[in-house]
Amino acid sequence: MRVLFGGFAHETNTFSPWKTGSAEFRADGYYAGDEIRKLAGTNTGAGGVLRAAGSEPDVELILTVDTTAIPGGYVTDEIFDEVVGTFERAILREKPDAIVLDLHGAMVSESEIDGDGAILRRVRQAAGPGVPIVAELDLHANVGAEMLEHATVLVPYDTYPHIDNAERGEEIFRLAVDAARGKTQPRMASRRLPMFLAGPKQFSGIEPTKSIMDLVHEVETRPGVLTAGVCFAFPWADCPFAGMTVTVATDGDIDLAQRYADEIGDVIWSRREEFRPDTMTVEEAVHAAMEHESGPVVLADLGDNPGGGSAADGTALLWGLLDLGARDAAFALIADPEVVEEAFAIGLEGRIETRLGAKADDLHGYPVDVVATVVNLTDGTFVYEGPMLTGVHSSLGRTAVLRCEGRHGNTVDVIVCERRVQPLDTAVFRSQGIDPESKQILVVKSAVHFRGAFMPIASRIIEVDTPGLTSVDFSRFPYTQLSRPIWPLDAI
């Protein structure tokens, strides 16, 4: 038995002005062939596939390429054809008995509005009709018609923060091997819901998501069910099919799969109003954080979450902290390579006067004039320590910590780095010499993922309605291709 594995994952924010090409994928990890084995033991799809394959001595794993890039604008045709072409050639050469793929489900390329559907179409064409193709998806997939047509089974993550990546990797491997051995005959049904969601209430630990996923897991225990999942959608994608989708696969019974997908879908639809986020303005949030009796209070910069494709240089909360007199505050992060260059040129303990942030586009506030002392300089490398991406090595690029002076004798420590990274792990602070637990206020450019690592130390979490490419107010975005009506943009 031979199982082929490949990974190609991107969450595409179609409102972003920057393309995502070869350089972006290579910067975030591009593993070719046996290099994929370096991901053994990590909480990634590949890590799960490798672990599951390790306990099946008579299964030979064929490794192709596994790559992902930070969310951003359209994926270029060049990298798309490079990666998918590698999959196709390996399939034609190796003739695998089954194929497992680690995808995202919200990829849009320059030529393919349903990027993942196009990957699955080309993989299916190369493999032929009988080969099981099982794909792992992010929880934020927008499931297009071609994804449903060409995949045997789609398996989205169950968790947000996404901490079951490796578990789902094991699951796709088992589903594919069982199907290839003839032990099961997977039949998948889906139910699309005309709704998409802002981040916060999709957190697995709160309602209504908690009960919805409890139901999904209960459905998975029913006789004949192989797997069930919910794709919560990626709203910053101007695609006709953007929206939530329930998927259920059974062993040979498509009607049963459809009935269960409809059952879960009906529950989600009936509880949609509970997904509206509770947010504060910048001013409300900073005051609330300053007045809270203990720290750290974590402020989530919802509008500028680079994990959803934004610039990572938004300044709205930085203005608030400096101008309103916040003390013991640390800010993760501002991607501003020009200011990093200035900080490295002047060196540790040097003082600089500069304009910080909001340079990538005009959607993330205005640059802030700061007077600051350089208190830390590093190469920006860190290892994820929290429950998400555990063990994965990453880098902020060269990084400076600037102690910026506020208007009331206060200072704010700002992590200024070269790369766009979602600061979802406390290691982002610690690796830069900042002890997050000693701070009264922490700003993170993240919607939900930060909760895995920060909830254990946070005295309070406040979601802040800031401007940017991941704003939770969808009426700010110029959708033209999205199928309407869609909740909550339209009343249904």
Binding site for Zn ion (CB under 5 A): 138-140
Tokens of 220: 């998975």
Torsion angles phi and psi, residue 266, rounded to 5: -65, -40
Task: Please state the closest distance from residue 452 (CB atom) to Zn ion, in A.
Answer: 13
Q: Which of 7, 2, 111 is nearest to 62 (CA)?
A: 2
Instruction: Give the integer Cα–Cα distance in Å for 9 and 86.
Output: 15
Q: Which is nearer to Zn ion, 119 or 434 (CB)?
A: 119
Question: Edge to edge, what strands does the sheet with 30-32 contain?
Answer: 30-32, 60-68, 2-9, 98-103, 133-137, 153-156
Q: First-to-last CA distance in the chain?
A: 49
Close Cβ partners of 41 (under 8 Å, ≥ 6 residues apart): 47, 391
Of 234 and 487, which has the nearer Cβ to Zn ion? 234
**Rounded Cα–Cα distance for residues 334 and 348 (Å):** 19
- In this structure, how many other beta carbons lie within 10 angstroms of the beta carbon of residue 210? 12
Distance CA 247, CA 413 (A): 45
Comparing CB distances to Zn ion, the nearer of 235 and 295 is: 235
Instruction: Give dist(CA 138, CA 107) in Å, integer.
Output: 11
Report d(CA 282, CA 289) in Å as an integer: 11
By Cβ distance, which residue is nearest to Zn ion? 140
Min CB(422)–Zn ion separation in Å: 10
Residue 483 C-beta: closest distance to Zn ion, Å: 21
Report, in Å, the least distance between residue 202 CB and Zn ion: 9
Residue 204 or 279: the one with the smaller Cβ distance to Zn ion is 204
**Residue 481 beta carbon to Zn ion: minimum distance, rounded to whole angstroms:** 21
- When the beta carbons of 118 and 233 are compared against Zn ion, the nearer one is 233
Give the nearer residue to Zn ion in terms of CB position, either 140 or 192: 140
| Amino acid sitting at position 113 | I
Write down the least CB distance from residue 205 to Zn ion, Å.
16
Pair of tokens at residue 259: 């009935």
CA separation (Å) from 463 to 6, 198, 209?
A: 36, 11, 17
In the complex, least distance from residue 139 CB atom to Zn ion, rounded to whole angstroms: 5
* Cβ proximity to Zn ion, 16 vs 315, nearer residue: 16
- Which phi-psi region, left, alpha or beta, contains residue 226 (left: φ > 0; alpha: ψ -120 to 50)? alpha
Q: Minimal distance in Å, beta carbon 453 to Zn ion? A: 16
Please calculate the CA angle 454-459-461 and round it to the nearest 5 degrees.
65
Contacts of 64 (CB under 8 A, 6+ apart): 4, 5, 6, 32, 33, 86, 87, 90
3-state secondary structure of 441: strand
> Does a cis peptide bond (omega within 30 degrees of 0) precede residue 277?
no
Q: Which is nearer to Zn ion, 138 or 170 (CB)?
A: 138
CB-based contacts of 427: which residues, under 8 Å, 6+ apart?
A: 382, 383, 384, 385, 386, 453
Closest distance between Zn ion and the C-beta of residue 32, in Å? 25
- The smaller minimum CB distance to Zn ion, of residues 132 and 161, is found at 161
Least Å from the CB of residue 416 to Zn ion: 26
Query: CA 427 to CA 457: how far, in whole Å?
Result: 13
Give 243 or 296: the residue with its C-beta nearer to Zn ion. Answer: 243
- Kindly state the smallest distance separating residue 355's Cβ from Zn ion, in Å: 33
Q: Which is nearer to Zn ion, 402 or 444 (CB)?
A: 444
Of 199 and 488, which has the nearer Cβ to Zn ion? 199
CB 445 within 8 A of CB 332: yes
CB of 162 to Zn ion, least distance (A): 6
